[in-house]
Amino acid sequence: MKRGKKWLLLGCLFLVCMLLPGTMAEAADSDTIKNGIYADNIELSGMSAAEAEQVINAYVEGLKSTEITLLAAGNQAVVVTAGELGIAWGNPELVEEALAVGIRGNVIERYKMLKDLEKENLVYPIQLTFDLQTIGDVLLEKCVPYDVKAVPYGLVRENDNFRIVEGRVGYALDVEMSIDKVSQYMAQEWDRTACTIGLDVAVDEPRGSVEELSKVKDILGSYTTEYVSSNYNRSANVDNGCKLINGALVYPGEEFSMHALVTPFTAANGYYMAGSYMNGQVVDSLGGGICQVSTTLYNALLLAELEITERYNHSMIVTYVEPSADAAISESSGKDFKFVNNLEYPVYIEGYTKNKHITFNIYGCETRDPDREVRYESKVLEVNYPPSDKIYADASRPLGYVSDSGSPHVGYKAQLWKIVTENGREVSRTQVNSSSYKMVPRSAVVGTATEDPSAYEEIMAAIGTGDVNHVRDVLAILLAPPEEYDDDEDDE
């Protein structure tokens, strides 16, 4: 029985070969692709593998010039090509698969495949890929420049009145999301003709509103200091720093940095050389006097009860406010003065100078009880007076030379306290800060070069007293011209 089935199968195969002469011969030809096989709309019949690859590559190459319109921020149309997006043939293995049709499998399978091709074409899809890095580079180079930063609503104070400046909506391209969107669309949905793709653009609404800013009209805190004794350069620095801060608008929860507004301390930014503290000495530097600006602002903000987040006292005491009521900034040492608007509404900083006085007004929406008052007291804990002047003898300079650092600096330890009263009754007393100021004696360099031994001894003795004023008195005597005497007798 088994033997009969075997002979029956062989007989059928022989009959197939006899009925389709040439079919097996065609199947045996493995060097060319069979009739009825396509790659998309490209007929591959009769082509070798190399020819099929060449024609498909040419097709993909031709797609590179197809225009793709990308809609960036503000619906700005950016026209690129598929080639710029890194198009490439993604399934080159289809040529080998097409070449294997009618070759692989047993006789029956090959016969069936070839008969099917006579009735219906076999179409292999040409898959396309796009390089994600290339798409990202295109988006960054050609689309991101159309991003627009949101501009918050602003305030301008003119003629003692506020004018609200309209804000502007911002747009920012989400590059990562847009890369995925472009690559997926081009690889899966693109019909290989010119098309438009809307990118993922985030809308950034401007901060503030007309309604919110219309509430800003009350003075929450105001403070003034004077600099009448300052020279032209220092006065100019105070005026310049004040102008750079004037008009600052700080929204609720936003942190203000004075350093960000008034630096750099350069001539190009309006600053002059003037005295400032450095390493226990008074030295000239660009921007000297700017700390009086930060100090005045500090006191205005304290009265407005805004949250101070960064404040430093000076290394030595200043004269324009009480101890612990100062606020120093320094670009070289990274000292900044900052505060956070911890109120419900924005605050506007108005600053101006007049007759060598600097004033800051803090405007906002007053919500405090009118019977509530705030004031600040400086409490000095310790005072350290310099015991004597530091005088250095310099034998390389002539007798009569004196260079001193000016007045000595008294050292202090102090605290600043906030006192709140309601209806005239004190309800709270809170320490705001603690400050320590260096005690720095007056120093001087005194020339001692002289050929007169007695004069040398006298000046060295004067130096030993540790009193610069006494040294000057001794020099005045030593360097005074000799007295002239009239030998004639006076007339009676």
DSSP labels, 34-100? PTTEEETTEE-TT--HHHHHHHHHHHHHHHTT-EEEEE-GGG-EEEEETTTTTEEES-TTHHHHHHH
Burial letters for 425-442: b for 16+ Cβ neighbours within 10 Å, e otherwise? eeeeeeebbebebbbbbb
pLDDT of residue 255: 98
pLDDT of residue 16: 47
pLDDT of residue 62: 94
Backbone angles phi, psi at 31, to 5 degrees: -90, -15
pLDDT of residue 488: 47
**What ranges in 80-157 are assigned the alpha helix state H?**
94-100, 107-119, 132-138
pLDDT of residue 29: 54
Identity of residue 419: I
- Cα 199 from chain centre: 26
pLDDT of residue 492: 34
pLDDT of residue 18: 44
Place of tokens 């690129």: 80
Cβ neighbours of residue 448 under 8 Å, at least 6 residues apart? 393, 394, 395, 397, 399, 456, 459, 460, 463
Tokens encoding 47: 């082509």
Are 82 and 134 in contact, with CB atoms under 8 Å apart?
A: no
Among 335, 338, 356, residue whose Cα is nearest residue 238:
356
pLDDT of residue 176: 95
Place of tokens 């007295």: 483
Which residues are 409's β-sheet partners? 440
pLDDT of residue 442: 85
3-state secondary structure at position 14:
helix
- For the chain, the 3-state helix, strand and coil shares in percent, each to the nearest 5, are 30, 30, 35
**What ranges in 367-430 are assigned the alpha helix state H?**
none
Q: Provide the whole-model pTM.
A: 0.71
pLDDT of residue 101: 84
Q: What is the mean pLDDT of each run of 10 residues along the chain (492 residues)?
A: 50 47 48 89 92 94 96 94 95 91 70 70 91 96 95 93 95 96 94 96 94 96 97 96 97 97 95 84 85 98 98 94 96 92 97 97 96 96 91 92 84 97 95 95 90 91 90 90 54 36
pLDDT of residue 24: 47
Q: What is the C-alpha R_g of the chain?
A: 45
Tokens encoding 93: 């293995």
